Amino acid sequence: MIIKNKAIIEDDWQVLRLQDQETAEAAIVPNGKIIVPLKVWLAQRAVLQQRNDIGVWFASDERPENLAEDVHRFSVIAVDFPKFSDGRGYSIAYNLRTRLGYSGELRAIGDVLRDQLFYMQRVGFDTFEPRPDRNINDALKGFEDFSEVYQTSVDRKQPLFRRVVRQGMGAVGFGDD
């Protein structure tokens, strides 16, 4: 079960993770819908690009630019959070959405917990695989933590100060005048 667009749904994508000794070149990519490590995609691109049931996932130290124009081939891209406290995945997601223009499904995998979901959805994730030992229904509540935000990100193109009229204390001059 995963969360997609704030609903719990069945999911038939598998995530391929390399075993200790396994190299990206030698890794066997099984049949069926599978999300492979970026390394595997880059190493086996010639073969894998023939398939249309492949997704790719980023480790937190990999850079979205490495996928460059390939990004539009995928209907699923995932970003792995090895630990929830490793925040690089947030910038990877932001860059995939804004710099590379990726508009397909973007899922958070790994150490994905309720208390990070609010921020994750803001930087462009729409699909989440919460850690299996946690109650997925409970995780849904994480999206409701805040009803308003100050700054821009993927979900909000305009900051609060451009979206609403906020009251000040009356007119003051600006320093430049």
Residues that bind another protein (CB under 8 A): 63, 84-88, 90-92, 94, 98-99, 113, 115-116, 118-120, 122-123, 145-153, 157-162, 164, 166-176
For residue 15, count other CB atoms closer than 10 A to its CB. 16
Task: Choose between 14 and 161: whose C-beta lies nearer to another protein.
Answer: 161
Task: Choose between 54 and 67: whose C-beta lies nearer to another protein.
Answer: 67
Q: What are phi and psi of 91, to 5 degrees?
A: -75, -30
**Minimum distance of another protein from residue 1's CB (angstroms):** 19
CA 118 to mean position of chain CA atoms? 12
Task: Choose between 49 and 135: whose C-beta lies nearer to another protein.
Answer: 135
**Minimum distance of another protein from residue 89's CB (angstroms):** 9
**Minimum distance of another protein from residue 133's CB (angstroms):** 11
Beta bridge partners of 9: 2
User: What is the spatial distance between Cα 78 and Cα 93, in angstroms, rounded to a whole number?
Assistant: 9
User: What is the spatial distance between Cα 63 and Cα 68, in angstroms, rounded to a whole number?
Assistant: 10
Task: Choose between 11 and 95: whose C-beta lies nearer to another protein.
Answer: 95
Q: What are phi and psi of 95, to 5 degrees?
A: -70, -40
Q: In degrees, to the nearest 5, what angle opens at C-alpha 2 toward C-alphas 62 and 90?
A: 30
**Minimum distance of another protein from residue 112's CB (angstroms):** 12
Q: Are 78 and 55 in contact (CB under 8 A)?
A: yes
Tokens 């710099």 appear where?
99
**Minimum distance of another protein from residue 84's CB (angstroms):** 7
Task: Choose between 46 and 172: whose C-beta lies nearer to another protein.
Answer: 172
